[in-house]
Structure 1
Amino acid sequence: MTTRRSTLALLGAAVLSASGLSACGDGDAAAAGRQATELRYQGSVGTVTPAELAEDLGYLGDVKLKWIGNTISGPQDIQAATTGDIDFGGAFNGAIVKLAANRAPIKAVIGYYGVDKDSYIGFYVLDGSPITSPKDLIGKKIGVNTLGAHAEAITKTYLSRAGLSDAEIQQVELVVVPPVNTEQSLRQRQIDVAQLGGTLRDKALDRGGIHPLYTDFELLGPFTAGSYVFREDFLKKNPDTVKTFVSGVGKAIEWSRSTPREQVIARFRQILAERARNEDDSQLKYWKSYGVNGRAGVIEEKEFATWIEWLTGTGELKGKNVEATDIFTNRYNTAAGGAA
């Protein structure tokens, strides 16, 4: 079971390891004065990320992606990018803020997932559950994909808006459950509330017997929730590679918006079949959008300022001064007039 302590320990280890990096992942290319043409990354089971879609559509040009495994945790993904185990990672913007507050040498370059009326994260209970209000969550277990990220921020927002004290909020237990197992854990009553999003949410709703207690869309409306990050040394040595990647991902996001949904899903099925990772594609029929709020993933200052303010208010930044404009850049995104 992942704990808050282990999550924070990983964050610290990531920052310490990053201090000794020398652009891992593009070593030979950098030594020869060339820019990297291969980007290592982690994927998600049964899902086609915007980066993977961009490569399949041919929007990345000569830049190739190298899949090294899957993750269910945004904080773990950006930690891996910080330590050089991968070249780029993605996470909830609040998790990026916390890593940046610990002086991790990373920069957010494009939004890649978000919240809208079709793509949102809900927190579901079984029909007939005695849990009907925030107060009812005291002493209960909520299954989430990871700690210290989107689900935790939304849950604490829900609880604090309802007037629960810090002591009461501490009694609401967040437990880590792989997303593909969360619905089953709820139905088997191993947890009291299940975080469900995207295609897994709609697949669970199709089976019936559950309903939402709260959702991020109801609480905050539409917003871009997470961004891809690179290490600053990688950006410095590979500006053209990053510009190709960011602009290609932005084009893929817009392609997914402008293309008929059935065609997008068909493309996803093709990608899953061709990459042959033994994945179930049955949930793809429920896909509706990536939820990115801005055009082509262009980042707005408020997408980080909101979480800086919230984390400062909860004391999680421990008095550290963090500026939103220091955490992200749009200079690699041609949709924003990027001139890298």
Structure 2
Amino acid sequence: MIKLRNVPLIAMLIVTLAGCGGEAAARPGEPETLELRYQGSVGAVTFPELAEDLGYLAPVKLKWIGNTISGPQDIQAAATGQTDFGGAFNGAIIKLAAAKAPIKAVIGYYGSDKDSYIGYFVPDGSPIKGPRDLIGKKIGVNTLGAHLEAVLKEYLKRGGLTPDEIKQVEPVVVPPVNTEQALRQGQIDVAALSGVLRDKALQRGGIRPLFKDIDLFGPFTAGSYVFTDRFVKRNPNTTKKFVEAVARAIEWTQTHSREEYVARAKEIIARRGRSEDTTAIGFWKSSGVAGTGGVIDPKEFQIWIDWLQREGEIKPGQVRAQDLFTNAYNPFGGNR
């Protein structure tokens, strides 16, 4: 798995590889390319997949090339031309852009609210009660350099830990499906859990929340889909079709019942024939996307720019929020 900390090396590849998806001459207003390569998620339905199933994406079609559990890896795959688009935590997008990757966020696609949030859990008998108790402890996360690690470090900072003390708290990469087990077996001290994995773990009992991301930030959209600048330039109509379709799919989940979404998602999983278990979909509660149709709010990038500057990950002024995203293709958004 490519880790975000390798972004300077990744950026060197982008000049020759970015935007290598299929391109074809198109009539005015028609999509330039009719196929978009992407990575999916096991047992889940992404918004582009939902958009295609609802008929919003036609005549453009998706081409699944595999699955990923890492947002940073997903956007790196898009930046280097292995896929046509990818999605990740906004902080990961900022770091990749700071490494000179020519990418543009076009629509928000996941976030946290009272129903969909990241929780950091400890066993009921754990002596861990607050931030300072995490010094010297291991915290299970799905990938480094992304949402879960950023929220953890913000929690530690607000808890009064010094930079040297924060370095003594160890994020450990654990596959999401194994995180609960790793916590119960004592391999990690804290488990970051969300969605069905969180809800199933809570059903089984024996764990309690230490904190949640919404405790720190309130409801917020956390991640966005990106294209390379080159792809957008060469395929403006395809980009517009994609964003409009995904925006409508997000709005569909925001205006339809949970039961309607679950039923539709189960049908999609069954039809695509990837030998997946649909149990997780039954626990779906909300998209977590704050803005209607995934419209991006500048503060959803600025908050992480400020954080990365404080962490010394990027230099002041190195990245500007207005350069990272656009709402221009979103039918629910403004002019940015």
**Pairwise TM-score range, normalised by the shorter structure:** over 0.9
1:262 corresponds in structure 2 to: 259
Identity across matched positions, percent: 63
Cα offset, 1:184, TM superposition:
1.3
Question: Where does the alignment leave 5 or more consecutive residues of structure 1 unmatched?
Answer: none
2:179 pairs, out of 178, 182, 192, with: 182
Cα offset, 1:7, TM superposition:
3.7
2:22 corresponds in structure 1 to: 26
Aligned equivalents of 2:65 and 2:27: distance in 1? 25
What are the residue-to-residue correspondences of 1:274-293 with 2, within 5 Å? 274-293=271-290
> Could you give the per-residue CA deviations for residues 241-291 of structure 1, whole angstroms, max 9, x where no partner exists?
111111111111111111111111011111111111111211212111110
> What is the TM-score with the length of structure 2 in the denominator?
0.95
* Runs of 4 or more consecutive aligned structure 1 residues displaced over 6 Å after TM superposition: 31-34
1:148 pairs, out of 145, 149, 156, with: 145
Question: Where does the alignment leave 5 or more consecutive residues of structure 2 unmatched?
Answer: none
2:46 pairs, out of 49, 57, 66, with: 49
Is the contact made by 1:101 and 1:320 (CA closer than 8 Å) also made in structure 2? no
Aligned equivalents of 1:13 and 1:66: distance in 2? 27
> Could you give the per-residue CA deviations for residues 118-144 of structure 1, whole angstroms, max 9, x where no partner exists?
110011111111111111111111110
Answer yes or no: is 1:137 the counterpart of 2:134: yes
Cα offset, 1:31, TM superposition:
10
Is the contact made by 2:18 and 2:79 (CA closer than 8 Å) also made in structure 1? no
2:228 corresponds in structure 1 to: 231
Aligned equivalents of 2:275 and 2:196: distance in 1? 18
**Matched residue count:** 334
1:85 corresponds in structure 2 to: 82
> Could you give the per-residue CA deviations for residues 140-190 of structure 1, whole angstroms, max 9, x where no partner exists?
111100000101110000000000011111011111111111111111211
Aligned equivalents of 1:226 and 1:71: distance in 2? 15
- CA 89–30 in structure 1, closer or farther in 2 if over 3 Å, else same: farther
Cα offset, 1:338, TM superposition:
6.1
Answer yes or no: is 1:217 the counterpart of 2:214: yes
2:98 corresponds in structure 1 to: 101
Cα offset, 1:90, TM superposition:
0.3
2:8 corresponds in structure 1 to: 12
What are the residue-to-residue correspondences of 1:325-336 with 2, within 5 Å? 325-336=322-333
Whichever residue aligns with residue 333 of structure 2, its letter is: A
Whichever residue aligns with residue 20 of structure 1, its letter is: T
- RMSD, matched Cα: 1.8
Is the contact made by 1:141 and 1:191 (CA closer than 8 Å) also made in structure 2? yes
Aligned equivalents of 1:135 and 1:337: distance in 2? 43
Whichever residue aligns with residue 214 of structure 1, its letter is: F
Equivalent position SS for 2:245: helix
Answer yes or no: is 1:273 the counterpart of 2:267: no
Equivalent position SS for 2:16: coil
- CA 80–189 in structure 1, closer or farther in 2 if over 3 Å, else same: same
Equivalent position SS for 1:153: helix
Equivalent position SS for 1:334: coil
> Could you give the per-residue CA deviations for residues 24-70 of structure 1, whole angstroms, max 9, x where no partner exists?
1124x269997111110111111111111111111112111111111
1:119 corresponds in structure 2 to: 116
Aligned equivalents of 1:134 and 1:243: distance in 2? 44
Whichever residue aligns with residue 145 of structure 1, its letter is: N
